[in-house]
Amino acid sequence: MLLANGPAYVAIPGPSVCPERVLRAMHRPSPNIYAGEIVEITKTLVPSLKAVAKTDGHVALYIGNGHAAWEAALFNVLSPGDKVLVLSSGHFGTGWGNMAHPMGIDVELMEFDRRGGNDLEAVIKRLKADKSGEIKAVLSVQVDTSTGVKNGIADLRNAMDAADHPALLMVDCIACLGCDDFEMDAWGVDVMVAGCQKGLMVPPGMAFVFFNDKADAMRETNGCASHYWDWRPRANAEALWQFFDGTAPTHHIYGMREALDMISEEGLPQVFERHAVFAKAIWAAVEAWGRGGEIELNIPDPKLRSNAVTSVRMKAPQATRLRNWAESQAGITLGIGLGMGTSEDPNADGFFRFGHMGSLSAHMILGLIATTQTGLKALDIPHGPGGLEAASQVIADATNVT
Protein backbone atom coordinates (compact mmCIF):
# COMPACT_ATOMS: atom_id res chain seq x y z
CA MET A 1 0.00 0.00 0.00
CA LEU A 2 1.28 3.39 -0.96
CA LEU A 3 -1.14 5.71 0.81
CA ALA A 4 1.61 7.31 2.88
CA ASN A 5 3.52 8.73 -0.05
CA GLY A 6 2.23 12.32 0.04
CA PRO A 7 3.42 14.94 2.53
CA ALA A 8 4.18 13.52 5.96
CA TYR A 9 2.79 15.00 9.18
CA VAL A 10 4.76 14.51 12.35
CA ALA A 11 2.24 14.91 15.17
CA ILE A 12 4.59 14.15 18.06
CA PRO A 13 4.96 16.48 21.06
CA GLY A 14 8.12 18.09 19.77
CA PRO A 15 9.69 18.93 17.52
CA SER A 16 6.46 20.40 16.21
CA VAL A 17 5.47 21.23 12.65
CA CYS A 18 7.63 24.09 11.33
CA PRO A 19 5.65 26.70 9.41
CA GLU A 20 6.79 27.43 5.86
CA ARG A 21 7.34 31.04 6.89
CA VAL A 22 9.87 29.96 9.51
CA LEU A 23 11.63 27.56 7.14
CA ARG A 24 11.80 30.23 4.43
CA ALA A 25 13.17 32.77 6.88
CA MET A 26 15.95 30.32 7.74
CA HIS A 27 16.76 29.42 4.13
CA ARG A 28 19.46 31.94 3.32
CA PRO A 29 23.24 32.28 3.12
CA SER A 30 25.24 32.80 6.32
CA PRO A 31 25.18 36.43 7.42
CA ASN A 32 28.04 38.54 8.74
CA ILE A 33 27.92 37.99 12.49
CA TYR A 34 29.93 41.09 13.40
CA ALA A 35 27.65 43.78 12.04
CA GLY A 36 24.39 44.27 10.24
CA GLU A 37 20.84 43.14 10.67
CA ILE A 38 21.47 39.86 12.51
CA VAL A 39 22.77 41.81 15.51
CA GLU A 40 19.67 44.01 15.59
CA ILE A 41 17.31 41.09 15.03
CA THR A 42 18.81 39.20 17.96
CA LYS A 43 18.17 42.17 20.24
CA THR A 44 14.53 42.22 19.16
CA LEU A 45 14.04 38.61 20.25
CA VAL A 46 14.41 39.62 23.89
CA PRO A 47 11.26 41.77 24.26
CA SER A 48 9.27 39.39 22.07
CA LEU A 49 10.21 36.38 24.19
CA LYS A 50 9.41 38.27 27.39
CA ALA A 51 6.00 39.15 25.97
CA VAL A 52 5.24 35.47 25.40
CA ALA A 53 6.42 34.60 28.93
CA LYS A 54 4.55 37.65 30.34
CA THR A 55 7.54 38.93 32.27
CA ASP A 56 9.45 42.16 32.76
CA GLY A 57 12.35 40.11 34.08
CA HIS A 58 15.39 38.84 32.21
CA VAL A 59 16.01 36.20 29.59
CA ALA A 60 19.22 34.41 28.60
CA LEU A 61 19.44 32.70 25.20
CA TYR A 62 21.39 29.48 24.66
CA ILE A 63 22.27 27.26 21.74
CA GLY A 64 20.77 24.05 22.99
CA ASN A 65 17.68 21.97 23.59
CA GLY A 66 15.43 21.76 26.62
CA HIS A 67 18.00 19.77 28.57
CA ALA A 68 20.46 22.63 28.09
CA ALA A 69 17.93 25.06 29.55
CA TRP A 70 17.36 22.71 32.49
CA GLU A 71 21.07 22.57 33.25
CA ALA A 72 21.67 26.25 32.65
CA ALA A 73 18.91 27.21 35.07
CA LEU A 74 20.26 24.92 37.80
CA PHE A 75 23.87 26.05 37.36
CA ASN A 76 22.95 29.68 37.91
CA VAL A 77 21.17 29.41 41.23
CA LEU A 78 22.38 26.31 43.05
CA SER A 79 25.55 25.19 44.79
CA PRO A 80 26.76 21.67 45.51
CA GLY A 81 25.01 20.44 48.65
CA ASP A 82 21.92 22.60 48.13
CA LYS A 83 18.62 20.80 48.37
CA VAL A 84 15.89 21.05 45.74
CA LEU A 85 12.36 19.73 45.91
CA VAL A 86 11.42 18.17 42.57
CA LEU A 87 7.71 17.69 41.89
CA SER A 88 7.01 15.01 39.34
CA SER A 89 4.02 13.42 37.75
CA GLY A 90 5.84 12.10 34.72
CA HIS A 91 9.06 11.58 32.82
CA PHE A 92 10.04 15.23 32.48
CA GLY A 93 9.50 16.30 36.08
CA THR A 94 11.83 13.51 37.15
CA GLY A 95 14.22 14.27 34.29
CA TRP A 96 14.95 17.81 35.49
CA GLY A 97 15.81 16.45 38.91
CA ASN A 98 18.14 13.92 37.30
CA MET A 99 20.13 16.79 35.75
CA ALA A 100 20.79 18.14 39.23
CA HIS A 101 22.27 14.95 40.73
CA PRO A 102 25.67 15.07 38.99
CA MET A 103 26.05 18.72 40.03
CA GLY A 104 26.16 17.58 43.63
CA ILE A 105 22.70 18.93 44.37
CA ASP A 106 20.64 17.07 46.94
CA VAL A 107 17.50 16.12 45.01
CA GLU A 108 14.34 15.30 46.93
CA LEU A 109 11.80 13.83 44.54
CA MET A 110 8.08 14.00 45.31
CA GLU A 111 6.36 11.68 42.87
CA PHE A 112 2.68 12.16 42.22
CA ASP A 113 0.06 10.25 40.29
CA ARG A 114 0.78 10.11 36.56
CA ARG A 115 -2.91 10.71 35.92
CA GLY A 116 -3.11 13.84 38.06
CA GLY A 117 -0.89 16.80 38.82
CA ASN A 118 1.09 18.10 41.76
CA ASP A 119 -0.49 17.32 45.11
CA LEU A 120 -0.30 20.77 46.65
CA GLU A 121 -1.40 19.68 50.12
CA ALA A 122 1.62 17.39 50.22
CA VAL A 123 3.86 20.19 48.96
CA ILE A 124 2.63 22.57 51.67
CA LYS A 125 3.19 19.92 54.32
CA ARG A 126 6.74 19.24 53.11
CA LEU A 127 7.65 22.92 52.90
CA LYS A 128 6.22 23.66 56.35
CA ALA A 129 8.37 20.86 57.75
CA ASP A 130 11.49 22.52 56.32
CA LYS A 131 11.91 24.89 59.25
CA SER A 132 15.54 25.67 58.53
CA GLY A 133 14.91 26.60 54.91
CA GLU A 134 17.12 23.82 53.60
CA ILE A 135 15.15 23.61 50.35
CA LYS A 136 16.55 26.22 48.00
CA ALA A 137 14.24 25.69 45.05
CA VAL A 138 11.04 23.94 44.05
CA LEU A 139 11.13 22.52 40.51
CA SER A 140 7.97 21.75 38.59
CA VAL A 141 6.89 21.29 35.01
CA GLN A 142 3.88 23.28 33.86
CA VAL A 143 3.01 20.49 31.43
CA ASP A 144 4.55 17.03 31.61
CA THR A 145 4.79 15.96 28.00
CA SER A 146 4.80 12.27 28.89
CA THR A 147 1.52 12.21 30.78
CA GLY A 148 -0.10 15.33 29.32
CA VAL A 149 -0.81 16.73 32.77
CA LYS A 150 -0.92 20.50 33.26
CA ASN A 151 -0.08 21.78 36.71
CA GLY A 152 -1.59 24.97 38.10
CA ILE A 153 1.48 27.12 38.53
CA ALA A 154 -0.32 30.03 40.21
CA ASP A 155 -1.70 27.46 42.68
CA LEU A 156 1.80 26.14 43.30
CA ARG A 157 2.99 29.66 44.11
CA ASN A 158 0.04 30.07 46.49
CA ALA A 159 0.98 26.80 48.15
CA MET A 160 4.58 27.96 48.64
CA ASP A 161 3.29 31.23 50.08
CA ALA A 162 0.86 29.35 52.34
CA ALA A 163 3.84 27.43 53.71
CA ASP A 164 5.69 30.76 54.00
CA HIS A 165 8.70 29.19 52.33
CA PRO A 166 11.40 31.31 50.64
CA ALA A 167 12.53 28.74 48.02
CA LEU A 168 12.76 29.77 44.38
CA LEU A 169 9.96 28.57 42.15
CA MET A 170 11.48 27.13 38.95
CA VAL A 171 9.15 26.04 36.18
CA ASP A 172 9.66 24.04 32.98
CA CYS A 173 7.42 25.40 30.21
CA ILE A 174 9.28 23.61 27.41
CA ALA A 175 6.21 21.69 26.24
CA CYS A 176 3.61 24.39 26.40
CA LEU A 177 4.97 27.93 26.08
CA GLY A 178 2.85 29.47 23.36
CA CYS A 179 0.09 26.83 23.77
CA ASP A 180 -1.10 27.07 27.39
CA ASP A 181 -1.21 30.44 29.11
CA PHE A 182 1.75 31.20 31.33
CA GLU A 183 2.18 34.38 33.37
CA MET A 184 5.65 34.46 34.84
CA ASP A 185 5.36 37.69 36.84
CA ALA A 186 1.69 37.49 37.82
CA TRP A 187 2.13 33.92 39.03
CA GLY A 188 5.33 34.65 40.95
CA VAL A 189 7.64 32.34 39.04
CA ASP A 190 11.35 33.03 39.66
CA VAL A 191 12.92 30.95 36.88
CA MET A 192 11.32 29.54 33.74
CA VAL A 193 12.90 27.37 31.06
CA ALA A 194 11.73 26.87 27.49
CA GLY A 195 12.95 25.68 24.10
CA CYS A 196 12.20 26.79 20.56
CA GLN A 197 10.94 23.53 19.06
CA LYS A 198 7.48 23.02 20.49
CA GLY A 199 4.95 25.83 20.80
CA LEU A 200 7.51 28.23 19.34
CA MET A 201 7.59 26.36 16.01
CA VAL A 202 11.34 26.52 15.22
CA PRO A 203 13.60 23.48 14.61
CA PRO A 204 15.35 22.31 17.83
CA GLY A 205 18.44 24.29 18.73
CA MET A 206 17.63 27.33 20.87
CA ALA A 207 16.75 27.37 24.55
CA PHE A 208 15.70 30.13 26.93
CA VAL A 209 16.06 30.74 30.62
CA PHE A 210 13.89 33.51 32.05
CA PHE A 211 14.68 34.78 35.54
CA ASN A 212 13.74 37.55 37.93
CA ASP A 213 15.84 39.67 40.29
CA LYS A 214 15.32 37.27 43.21
CA ALA A 215 16.81 34.43 41.17
CA ASP A 216 19.60 36.69 39.96
CA ALA A 217 20.49 37.47 43.57
CA MET A 218 20.96 33.73 44.16
CA ARG A 219 23.22 33.63 41.11
CA GLU A 220 25.44 36.05 43.08
CA THR A 221 26.25 33.60 45.82
CA ASN A 222 26.00 30.18 44.22
CA GLY A 223 28.96 27.90 43.70
CA CYS A 224 28.22 26.27 40.38
CA ALA A 225 28.02 29.08 37.87
CA SER A 226 30.17 28.13 34.91
CA HIS A 227 31.41 30.58 32.35
CA TYR A 228 29.35 29.01 29.62
CA TRP A 229 26.02 28.64 31.45
CA ASP A 230 26.24 32.00 33.26
CA TRP A 231 23.05 33.86 32.43
CA ARG A 232 24.35 37.35 33.28
CA PRO A 233 26.53 38.10 30.23
CA ARG A 234 23.86 36.64 27.99
CA ALA A 235 21.00 38.59 29.52
CA ASN A 236 23.04 41.81 29.38
CA ALA A 237 24.66 41.24 25.98
CA GLU A 238 25.55 44.06 23.61
CA ALA A 239 27.66 42.29 20.99
CA LEU A 240 26.22 39.29 19.21
CA TRP A 241 28.82 36.83 20.54
CA GLN A 242 27.91 37.79 24.12
CA PHE A 243 24.35 36.56 23.67
CA PHE A 244 25.59 33.03 23.00
CA ASP A 245 29.14 32.99 24.40
CA GLY A 246 30.48 32.38 20.90
CA THR A 247 29.09 32.08 17.40
CA ALA A 248 25.39 32.88 17.27
CA PRO A 249 22.87 30.35 15.93
CA THR A 250 22.37 32.60 12.92
CA HIS A 251 19.62 30.74 11.11
CA HIS A 252 17.71 29.99 14.29
CA ILE A 253 17.67 33.72 15.01
CA TYR A 254 15.90 34.36 11.70
CA GLY A 255 13.54 31.48 12.38
CA MET A 256 12.74 32.69 15.90
CA ARG A 257 12.08 36.22 14.67
CA GLU A 258 9.61 34.91 12.10
CA ALA A 259 7.88 32.60 14.59
CA LEU A 260 7.51 35.36 17.18
CA ASP A 261 6.13 37.67 14.46
CA MET A 262 3.59 34.99 13.58
CA ILE A 263 2.54 34.74 17.23
CA SER A 264 2.14 38.48 17.62
CA GLU A 265 0.24 38.81 14.31
CA GLU A 266 -2.22 36.15 15.41
CA GLY A 267 -2.30 37.50 18.96
CA LEU A 268 -1.28 35.43 21.96
CA PRO A 269 -4.86 35.03 23.27
CA GLN A 270 -5.95 33.77 19.84
CA VAL A 271 -3.00 31.38 19.72
CA PHE A 272 -4.07 29.91 23.07
CA GLU A 273 -7.70 29.74 21.95
CA ARG A 274 -6.78 27.90 18.74
CA HIS A 275 -4.81 25.36 20.77
CA ALA A 276 -7.68 25.01 23.24
CA VAL A 277 -10.18 24.22 20.49
CA PHE A 278 -7.90 21.64 18.87
CA ALA A 279 -7.22 19.99 22.21
CA LYS A 280 -10.96 19.80 22.95
CA ALA A 281 -11.59 18.26 19.52
CA ILE A 282 -9.00 15.55 20.22
CA TRP A 283 -10.42 14.85 23.70
CA ALA A 284 -13.94 14.59 22.29
CA ALA A 285 -12.78 12.02 19.74
CA VAL A 286 -10.88 9.93 22.29
CA GLU A 287 -13.84 9.99 24.68
CA ALA A 288 -16.15 8.76 21.89
CA TRP A 289 -13.74 5.96 20.96
CA GLY A 290 -13.60 4.99 24.61
CA ARG A 291 -17.37 4.44 24.75
CA GLY A 292 -16.93 1.11 23.02
CA GLY A 293 -13.37 0.06 23.61
CA GLU A 294 -10.43 0.20 25.94
CA ILE A 295 -9.24 3.67 25.00
CA GLU A 296 -9.08 6.59 27.40
CA LEU A 297 -7.45 9.90 28.09
CA ASN A 298 -4.57 9.58 30.53
CA ILE A 299 -5.76 12.67 32.39
CA PRO A 300 -9.39 12.21 33.45
CA ASP A 301 -9.84 15.76 34.82
CA PRO A 302 -10.21 18.23 31.92
CA LYS A 303 -8.85 21.05 34.10
CA LEU A 304 -5.53 19.20 34.35
CA ARG A 305 -5.15 18.65 30.60
CA SER A 306 -2.81 20.62 28.38
CA ASN A 307 -3.59 22.38 25.13
CA ALA A 308 -0.26 21.13 23.75
CA VAL A 309 -0.17 17.36 24.18
CA THR A 310 -2.60 14.54 24.92
CA SER A 311 -1.58 11.13 26.24
CA VAL A 312 -3.89 8.22 25.42
CA ARG A 313 -4.13 4.86 27.18
CA MET A 314 -5.11 1.71 25.33
CA LYS A 315 -4.78 -1.99 25.83
CA ALA A 316 -1.17 -2.97 25.07
CA PRO A 317 0.12 -3.45 22.43
CA GLN A 318 -2.64 -1.64 20.54
CA ALA A 319 -1.08 1.82 20.84
CA THR A 320 2.14 0.68 19.21
CA ARG A 321 0.23 -1.12 16.46
CA LEU A 322 -1.76 2.05 15.85
CA ARG A 323 1.34 4.25 15.70
CA ASN A 324 3.05 1.89 13.29
CA TRP A 325 -0.03 1.78 11.09
CA ALA A 326 -0.46 5.57 11.08
CA GLU A 327 3.14 6.18 10.05
CA SER A 328 3.52 3.44 7.48
CA GLN A 329 0.04 3.51 5.96
CA ALA A 330 -1.10 7.10 6.31
CA GLY A 331 2.00 9.32 6.72
CA ILE A 332 1.20 10.55 10.23
CA THR A 333 3.66 10.01 13.06
CA LEU A 334 2.09 9.79 16.51
CA GLY A 335 4.08 10.16 19.74
CA ILE A 336 5.35 7.16 21.66
CA GLY A 337 4.26 6.38 25.22
CA LEU A 338 7.29 8.08 26.72
CA GLY A 339 8.36 7.04 30.20
CA MET A 340 5.18 5.02 30.61
CA GLY A 341 6.89 1.69 31.15
CA THR A 342 6.78 2.17 34.91
CA SER A 343 6.03 -0.28 37.67
CA GLU A 344 2.38 0.85 37.77
CA ASP A 345 2.11 0.83 33.99
CA PRO A 346 4.51 -1.86 32.83
CA ASN A 347 3.65 -1.61 29.18
CA ALA A 348 4.48 1.49 27.16
CA ASP A 349 2.87 -0.22 24.13
CA GLY A 350 -0.45 0.72 25.67
CA PHE A 351 0.21 4.47 25.33
CA PHE A 352 0.57 6.96 22.57
CA ARG A 353 0.52 10.74 22.41
CA PHE A 354 -0.90 13.38 20.13
CA GLY A 355 1.32 16.45 19.86
CA HIS A 356 -0.92 19.40 19.05
CA MET A 357 1.40 22.34 19.53
CA GLY A 358 2.39 25.20 17.27
CA SER A 359 1.65 25.70 13.62
CA LEU A 360 -1.58 23.75 13.17
CA SER A 361 -4.89 24.47 11.54
CA ALA A 362 -8.27 22.79 11.83
CA HIS A 363 -7.84 20.60 8.76
CA MET A 364 -4.64 19.12 10.19
CA ILE A 365 -6.27 18.28 13.50
CA LEU A 366 -9.29 16.78 11.75
CA GLY A 367 -6.94 14.79 9.52
CA LEU A 368 -5.07 13.59 12.57
CA ILE A 369 -8.27 12.43 14.26
CA ALA A 370 -9.74 10.91 11.10
CA THR A 371 -6.52 9.03 10.42
CA THR A 372 -6.35 7.70 13.95
CA GLN A 373 -9.95 6.53 13.73
CA THR A 374 -9.20 4.89 10.38
CA GLY A 375 -6.30 3.07 12.01
CA LEU A 376 -8.58 1.77 14.76
CA LYS A 377 -10.83 0.38 12.01
CA ALA A 378 -8.07 -1.05 9.88
CA LEU A 379 -6.52 -2.81 12.86
CA ASP A 380 -9.85 -4.05 14.24
CA ILE A 381 -9.25 -2.31 17.54
CA PRO A 382 -12.60 -2.08 19.37
CA HIS A 383 -13.76 1.53 19.73
CA GLY A 384 -16.93 3.50 20.09
CA PRO A 385 -18.48 5.32 17.12
CA GLY A 386 -18.65 9.03 16.43
CA GLY A 387 -15.12 10.18 17.34
CA LEU A 388 -14.63 12.23 14.22
CA GLU A 389 -18.20 13.52 14.42
CA ALA A 390 -17.63 14.71 17.97
CA ALA A 391 -14.38 16.40 17.00
CA SER A 392 -15.90 18.13 13.99
CA GLN A 393 -18.72 19.41 16.22
CA VAL A 394 -16.17 21.00 18.56
CA ILE A 395 -14.49 22.70 15.61
CA ALA A 396 -17.82 23.75 14.06
CA ASP A 397 -19.00 25.25 17.35
CA ALA A 398 -15.79 27.26 17.60
CA THR A 399 -15.99 28.83 14.16
CA ASN A 400 -17.41 32.29 13.64
CA VAL A 401 -20.08 32.11 11.01
CA THR A 402 -21.56 35.50 10.24
Binding-site ranges for ligand PLP (CB under 6 A): 14, 65-67, 92, 141, 143, 145, 172, 174-175, 195, 204
Helix residue ranges, H only, 57-152 = 66-77, 91-100, 120-129
Nearer to ligand PLP, 143 or 376 (CB): 143
Q: CB under 8 Å to 400, separation ≥6 — which residues?
A: none
Residue by residue, DSSP assigns 341-393 as: -SSSS--GGGEEEEE--SS--HHHHHHHHHHHHHHHHHTT----S-HHHHHHH
Nearer to ligand PLP, 143 or 314 (CB): 143
User: Shortest gap between Cβ of 306 and ligand PLP (angstroms)?
Assistant: 10
Nearer to ligand PLP, 15 or 290 (CB): 15
Nearer to ligand PLP, 187 or 325 (CB): 187
E strand or H helix that includes residue 85:
strand 83-88
d(CA 299, CA 297): 5
The residue whose Cβ lies closest to ligand PLP is 66
Nearer to ligand PLP, 310 or 392 (CB): 310
Nearer to ligand PLP, 203 or 386 (CB): 203
User: Shortest gap between Cβ of 56 and ligand PLP (angstroms)?
Assistant: 24
φ and ψ of 310, to 5 deg? -130, 130
User: Shortest gap between Cβ of 69 and ligand PLP (angstroms)?
Assistant: 8
User: Shortest gap between Cβ of 280 and ligand PLP (angstroms)?
Assistant: 21
User: Shortest gap between Cβ of 131 and ligand PLP (angstroms)?
Assistant: 32
Q: Are 22 and 258 in contact (CB under 8 A)?
A: yes
Residue 304 DSSP label:
G
Please list the residues that pair with 208 across neighbouring strands: 61, 194
User: Shortest gap between Cβ of 104 and ligand PLP (angstroms)?
Assistant: 22
